[in-house]
């Protein structure tokens, strides 16, 4: 039986920003627009990290680990749902510092050992600014060959006896999702997400809506649809994804069923480089890329994206300065009253 106890008793005020509880022994944290997770093994109370966020996420991951498991706590391993830049940003730094193995599906290995780029993102799929800006997102591989271990083909996760992995390709060739049968907890990565990841507004406000995998980085929609169908068959009671908030119970069941039944309408873009022909892959990386489609609006899209980035950066800077001024004013008021 799963323990309901928190691994450590901490002051509520010390809870790291944007951290959330998924289920007993499972916690997540959002960094800007992507989530990473920590799972506590119920047999030995040790833990694993699932995905590693962005390049600057390492300090936030260590802060969360210290809060949950104590100072200087080190995981048994890191598990990657896939190797896209927003899921492996800190994995090299953490694996080296912690000296722990990194588990991934064999079809993700070329992108984690410097052998192959991922297929280019497709900014023409539409849906919002996150998609429009996607031509800027990194697609080059990282190289952590010293720490990589390939997951066994039987679906077992060597460092988590109560969990298994499900092959969920489409968004990437070796994408996996993690499932705990005992209570129906699913960590889906980007096989589907619980926000509209193409829209910067939805990302900022974390609008809760089940969507297919992020359109701009999905090169195989036939496989993506199959993967969603496989996850629906699990009848998960709780789902935590790479982007968005966890969903549970009836809300999750109804939304997943609707996604499965209306996948073509709700998830697959009307246009794009990988429509209708997907990219294909092997153990060595990309085998075939469909030719880039001519788009007369591409330069306008890129110019708009760069303008939007500058505008958002200025707005964020202004927001941070205003927040600091309020904090300073409050401090002065407290000192004055004292």
* 156-204 pLDDT per residue, tens: 999 999 999 999 999 999 999 999 999 999 999 999 999 988 888 887 7
Alpha carbon 146 to chain centroid, angstroms: 23
Rounded alpha-carbon distances, angstroms, from residue 181 to 2, 12, 146, 234? 12, 31, 32, 9
pLDDT at 308: 54
Question: Options 3.40.50.300, 3.60.15.10, 3.40.50.620, 3.30.360.10; which CATH number does 12-295 get?
Answer: 3.60.15.10
The CA-to-CA distance between both ends of the chain, in Å, stands at 51
φ and ψ of 210, to 5 deg: -75, 130
What phi-psi label fits residue 60: left (phi over 0), alpha (psi between -120 and 50 degrees) or beta? alpha
φ and ψ of 240, to 5 deg: -120, 135
Closest-CA residue to 180 (of 114, 240, 257): 240
Name the band, by pLDDT with cuts 50, 70 and 90, for residue 1.
very low
Whole-structure pTM value: 0.86
Q: Contact 248/197 with Cβ under 8 angstroms?
A: no
Instruction: Of 57-71, 138-152, 253-267, 308-322, give the lowest mean pLDDT range.
Output: 308-322
Q: Is residue 325 pLDDT above 70, yes or no?
A: no
Q: Contact 199/126 with Cβ under 8 angstroms?
A: no
* 264-299 pLDDT per residue, tens: 999 999 999 999 999 999 999 999 999 987 665 655
């Amino acid at each position: 039986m799963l323990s309901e106890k928190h691994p450590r008793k901490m002051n509520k005020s010390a809870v790291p920003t944007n951290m959330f509880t998924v289920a007993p022994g499972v916690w997540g944290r959002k960094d800007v627009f992507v989530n990473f997770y920590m799972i506590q093994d119920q047999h030995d109370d040790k833990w694993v990290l699932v995905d590693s966020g962005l390049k600057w996420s390492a300090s936030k991951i260590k802060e969360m680990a210290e809060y949950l498991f104590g100072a200087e706590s080190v995981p048994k391993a890191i598990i990657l749902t896939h190797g896209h830049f927003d899921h492996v940003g800190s994995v090299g730094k953490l694996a080296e510092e912690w000296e722990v193995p990194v588990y991934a599906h064999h079809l993700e290995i070329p992108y984690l050992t410097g052998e192959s780029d991922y297929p280019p993102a497709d900014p023409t799929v539409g849906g919002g600014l996150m998609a429009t800006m996607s031509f800027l997102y990194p697609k080059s591989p990282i190289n952590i060959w010293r720490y990589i271990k390939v997951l066994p083909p039987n679906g077992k996760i060597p460092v988590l006896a109560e969990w298994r992995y499900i092959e969920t390709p489409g968004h990437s060739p070796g994408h996996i999702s993690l499932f705990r049968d005992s209570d129906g907890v699913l960590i889906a990565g980007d096989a589907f997400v619980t926000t509209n990841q193409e829209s910067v507004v939805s990302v900022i406000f974390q609008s809760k809506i089940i969507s297919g995998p992020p359109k701009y980085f999905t090169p195989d929609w036939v496989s993506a649809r199959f993967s969603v169908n496989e996850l629906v068959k699990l009848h998960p009671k709780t789902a935590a994804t790479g982007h968005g908030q966890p969903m549970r119970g009836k809300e999750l069941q109804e939304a997943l069923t609707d996604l499965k039944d209306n996948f073509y309408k709700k998830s697959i873009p009307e246009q794009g480089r990988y429509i209708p022909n997907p990219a294909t892959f092997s153990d060595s990386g990309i085998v075939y890329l469909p030719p880039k489609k001519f788009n007369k609006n591409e330069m306008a899209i890129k110019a708009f994206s760069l303008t939007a980035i500058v505008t958002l950066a200025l707005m964020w800077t202004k927001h941070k300065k205003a927040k600091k001024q309020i904090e300073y004013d409050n401090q002065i008021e407290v000192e004055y009253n004292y």
